[in-house]
Amino acid sequence: MSYVGPIGVIGAGSWGTTLAQILAEKGYRVDLWVYEADLCAIMAETRENTIYLPGFQLHENLVPHNDLESVVADHSLLVMVVPSHVYRNVASQMLPFLKKGSIIVSATKGIENETLLTMSGIWQEVLPSKSFVQLACLGGPTFAREVIQKIPTAITVAADDLDLARMLQNVFSTSFFRVYTSLDKIGLELAGALKNVIALAAGASDGLGFGYNSRAALITRGLAEISRLGVKMGAHPLTFSGLSGIGDLVLTCTGDLSRNRMVGFQLGQGRKLEDILGEMRMVAEGVKTARSVHFLAQRKEVEMPISELVYQVLFENKKPLLAVRELMDRDLKHELEVSWEMMRDGCQ
């Protein structure tokens, strides 16, 4: 099973442009939808995404378009890389041009605020039938700027069908971009969305002047609550120990290229959220996802103390230092949610 046709990439931010570049360099004809008409014209003329990924020459196989139909119609493989808050709207606009049997790969990391759905969940609501297209998703520790510089990177592609995942593995893999397969779409999508919330907390910890101990504790306990919610929603527990879980979490909580960590850092230094976001051209998905997680945790009755306090800092004006104190003063607990006796019995 292989793919030889043109590929449409929806969304020309830094990650969308990078994925389009990878595919173009492999020899695919790549049509890239650029929302901003002025940026599309600049990219066509200068062969550079001067706003989101300046300094990198675009491959000749990559063709920017401002017209969505040109990127969707007659394309059997589409890669979605638009922000989560516009994902449903763009997906709905794509429907009239979408070929039945197409493959849609989502590379967006977020949870819709209104419905609390992942991106695959949005598609399942938008599509006329569940079998209309095949859905897959990409996740893992990937800063776009490092990937386009061909710095070695590993990522995971998840689909319900292993043959489809393997085909996409071959489509995306290069000598510097290693792709693994998974059958856990919901786990991969949840891990990719929730880690951004924990990255806000890790950034705030750094902004408050705390040390490596604090950051390591936040990452570890953040992973625990991400896993709790993921397993409650049907994900495989081991997904959170993989690239899309701990891999992406560590990267986003520690890397200087992380937008979510940067927002958290400035919150920790006392800046207001609206001022921080007002200066940003690119999206920090963790801000919107924090709202989704707040309500999703309530709906699923899952305890997520770090994510809850991030929500309160963002939307209820709680001071970051007070949030830290509340985390540290919670009732003392066993580290593992499952007792040794239950683990032992489950292995017998």
Q: At 314, is the secondary structure helix, strand, or coil?
A: helix
**Helix extents (H) in the chain:** 14-25, 37-46, 68-72, 84-94, 119-126, 144-148, 162-172, 185-207, 212-232, 248-254, 259-268, 273-278, 285-300, 305-315, 320-328, 340-347
User: Per the residue annotation, which of 195, 232, 300, 318 is the catalytic one?
Assistant: 195
Told to judge if 195 belongs to the known catalytic residues of this protein, a careful annotator would answer: yes
Where b means 16+ CB within 10 Å and e means fewer, 159-183 reads beeeebbbbbbebbbeeebbbbbbe
Q: What is the DSSP letter of 78?
A: E
- Length of the chain (residues): 348
Name the H helices within 97-139: 119-126
Q: How far apart (Å, rounded) are the C-alpha atoms in residues 117 and 126?
A: 12
Q: Write the burial class of residue 68 (CB in 10 Å: 0-12 exposed, 13-18 middle, 19+ buried).
A: middle
> Do 281 and 49 meet the contact criterion of CB atoms below 8 Å apart?
no
Q: Which residues contact 238 (CB under 8 A, 6 or more apart)?
A: none
Give the pair of three-digit tokens for residue 339. 């007792």
Question: Taking a C-beta distance cutoff of 8 angstroms, is the pair 126, 95 a contact?
Answer: yes
Bridge partners (DSSP) listed for residue 78: 8, 104
Which are the catalytic amino acids?
195
